[in-house]
Chain A
Amino acid sequence: MKTRVLVPSGVLGLGFNRDALARGLSLNPDIIAIDGGSTDSGPFSLGAGQSKYSRAASKAEWRDLMVARAQAGVPLVIGTAGTCGADATVDWMYDITCELAAELGQKLRVARLYSSQPAARVIAALEAGKITPLTPAPDIGAQALRDMTNIVALAGAEQIQAALDTGAQIIIAGRTTDTATIAALPLRRGAHPGAAWHGAKIAECGALCSTNPTSGVIVVDFDDTGFTVEAMHETALCTPHSVSAHMLYENTDPFVLYEPGGYLDVRQARYTALDDRRVRVEGSEWVPGRYTVKLEGARIAGYQTTIMAVLRDAHYAAHAQAWVDKLTAFLTVEIQRRMDLAPTDYQMEFRLIGVNGALGPLENRTGTPVEVGVLGIVTAQTQAIAAEIGKLINPFVLHYPLTEDEELPTFAFPYSPATTDRGALYEFALNHVMELASPMEAFRIEVTEVGA
């Protein structure tokens, strides 16, 4: 049986072309699937349990997709809702959905798939030998797991299929793999499993697998021997090169992709142009294995205050590293003397923007910058301590001289106050998989009727 999946874009909040969406709908898809997140922006979203995209942008796009779903009469699925897919962001997306259902006059059955993991469950799995580290993995123990502000497990196709089985018209899923929401229905309807996962991987970033990445919308047809992919915008072409090259994107290995319950191997895949805009792919293989789900977790690693000064004085710009080395030594003594804090009680770092701001010690290019931005970052156990250190160092970052016999310099502060309290610094603390006895063991589904 053929299954046609419409993917409006790589992520909700990034936008898609309206004409391309209309064209996709005219092809009568069996399901509409979109991703809602990724770890790409860093640990903040998972750590804080917040969406990185604005509510207004997310709601505007979700409105279009809810209208499209009603028109097509097929399920609409979002994976990794609210950037990180924690329970809090699933509920955030559910609130948006309820508001829109009322505004649009739609009566809907909505399924929420929750992926958050209580620390106790992961600790029990760790003690039972059901947790395996990936490479490289942070060390974990019971206390480290209890300290995490959020832990999520990445759901696969089985959990999405369970949500589809509830008869829901809209599925709001917590953390899932990027591919699961796309692969679930084709797999359930008997598509070739290698093709289902491979096609899902190709489609997960929307039109990024085509010659016009920002147009968003693509359609994938899955059947029992392979899949066919086509971009919906008229200027977006899928070519064997654009499609196969997408396996490189954000993948450590372009041929092997691990999913819950096995892995995808595309080494034998053949990419064939059906015409100048559609590509047919066959030969990918699904290799079943243990049923494991990947875990993601974040914890608070401290609180930060930053300060920024710009050195325009040519002499200081040329000797910026020597200046911050001397300044750091001086401030370390002052912080000890005035706040009774040893260097091990906090971190203070000055990054030289214009010298090696992006690459740090890896930088191998040198030159004479016009000016140097000095970004001071203080990390301490509480925001109060970080802010106090920031205030203490502020006058010295402004005036500290390179030599003792010169008049006090004054550098450029771009704003007042010169310091900024950044709040909590979160860090990723898990790169592990957890073995499950059955796919729903670590996930739960809630179904509600919403709207007019």
Chain B
Amino acid sequence: MKLSDRVLKVRSKNAGPFWVTIDIFCGSPAAYAEVVSRLPTETVARLYATEMQLVKRFDIADLNVVKFSIPRPVIQGAAADRDMHGAQWAHLLAETEL
């Protein structure tokens, strides 16, 4: 099952020019518990080709949200940047098998 089949929404956006942040809105305590237990931080680091220790993770039970923040591999707007707002990054994670 893909992550997007289990949760309400996965979104991503720049958090300033040097970071991208990804929010998973799970929608229910059950879905939240499943995401927390079945989505290791390693998966996110691998998907976005970044080092594990640079990934910030927040499991927020009050909101049924799991949040990841990742340093941009390419600074926003640099010659090699392909997504100025970082909003299409979310789909890579949304399509991941849980």
Q: Which A residues are within 8 Å of any B CB, using their own CB? A: 39-44, 134-138, 241, 244-245, 248-255, 301-302, 304, 347, 349, 351, 357-365, 377, 379, 425-428, 431
By a CB distance below 8 angstroms, the chain B residues around A301 are 78-79
Asked if B67 is at the interface (CB within 8 A of a chain A CB), the reply is yes
Asked if B40 is at the interface (CB within 8 A of a chain A CB), the reply is no
Q: Who on chain B is nearest to A301 by CB?
A: B79
* Contact in complex: B67, A42 (CB < 8 Å): no
Q: B74 CB to closest chain A CB, in angstroms? A: 9
Which positions 42-98 of chain B face chain A at CB distance < 8 Å? 47-49, 56, 58, 60, 62-63, 65, 67, 69, 71, 75-80, 82-85, 88-89, 92, 95
Known contacts A39-B17, A248-B23, A428-B76; is-contact A359 B82 (Cβ 8 Å) = yes
* Contact in complex: B77, A44 (CB < 8 Å): yes
Asked if B15 is at the interface (CB within 8 A of a chain A CB), the reply is yes
Q: A343 CB to closest chain B CB, in angstroms? A: 15
* Contact in complex: A39, B16 (CB < 8 Å): yes
Across the A-B interface, give the 9 residue pairs with the lowest CB-CB distance, nearest first. A42-B77, A252-B69, A43-B77, A428-B17, A358-B88, A252-B15, A252-B19, A42-B84, A427-B78
* Contact in complex: B65, A42 (CB < 8 Å): no
Asked if B6 is at the interface (CB within 8 A of a chain A CB), the reply is no
Known contacts A241-B63, A254-B60, A351-B82; is-contact A39 B69 (Cβ 8 Å) = no
Give the contact-size bracket for chain B. Answer: 35 or more
* Contact in complex: B77, A428 (CB < 8 Å): yes
CA distance A42 to B84 in the complex (A): 6
Q: B11 CB to closest chain A CB, in angstroms? A: 9
Q: B61 CB to closest chain A CB, in angstroms? A: 12
* Contact in complex: A362, B77 (CB < 8 Å): no
Known contacts A359-B88, A359-B89; is-contact A43 B56 (Cβ 8 Å) = no
CA distance A428 to B19 in the complex (A): 13
Which positions 14-48 of chain B face chain A at CB distance < 8 Å? 14-19, 21, 23, 25, 47-48
CA distance A398 to B69 in the complex (A): 41
Q: What DSSP secondary structure best describes chain A's contact surface? A: loop
* Contact in complex: B21, A248 (CB < 8 Å): yes
A and B contact pairs by CB, cutoff 8 A, 25 listed = A39-B16, A43-B76, A244-B63, A248-B21, A248-B65, A249-B13, A250-B13, A250-B16, A252-B16, A252-B56, A253-B58, A254-B58, A301-B79, A349-B79, A349-B80, A357-B82, A359-B83, A360-B82, A362-B49, A362-B89, A362-B92, A364-B47, A379-B79, A428-B76, A431-B17
Q: A312 CB to closest chain B CB, in angstroms? A: 23
* Contact in complex: A254, B84 (CB < 8 Å): no
* Contact in complex: B17, A250 (CB < 8 Å): no
* Contact in complex: A254, B17 (CB < 8 Å): no
By a CB distance below 8 angstroms, the chain B residues around A250 are 13-16, 21
Which residue in A40, A244, A431 is a CB contact (below 8 Å) of B85? A40
Q: B64 CB to closest chain A CB, in angstroms? A: 9
Q: A389 CB to closest chain B CB, in angstroms? A: 14
* Contact in complex: A138, B75 (CB < 8 Å): yes
CA distance A44 to B78 in the complex (A): 10
CA distance A245 to B8 in the complex (A): 14
CA distance A302 to B62 in the complex (A): 47
CA distance A358 to B91 in the complex (A): 11
By a CB distance below 8 angstroms, the chain B residues around A137 are 18
CA distance A244 to B65 in the complex (A): 11
CA distance A351 to B14 in the complex (A): 22
By a CB distance below 8 angstroms, the chain A residues around B65 are 245, 248
Q: Who on chain A is nearest to B22 by CB?
A: A248
* Contact in complex: A364, B19 (CB < 8 Å): no
* Contact in complex: B17, A135 (CB < 8 Å): no
By a CB distance below 8 angstroms, the chain B residues around A241 are 63
* Contact in complex: B92, A136 (CB < 8 Å): no
Known contacts A250-B13, A431-B18; is-contact A362 B56 (Cβ 8 Å) = no
* Contact in complex: A253, B82 (CB < 8 Å): no
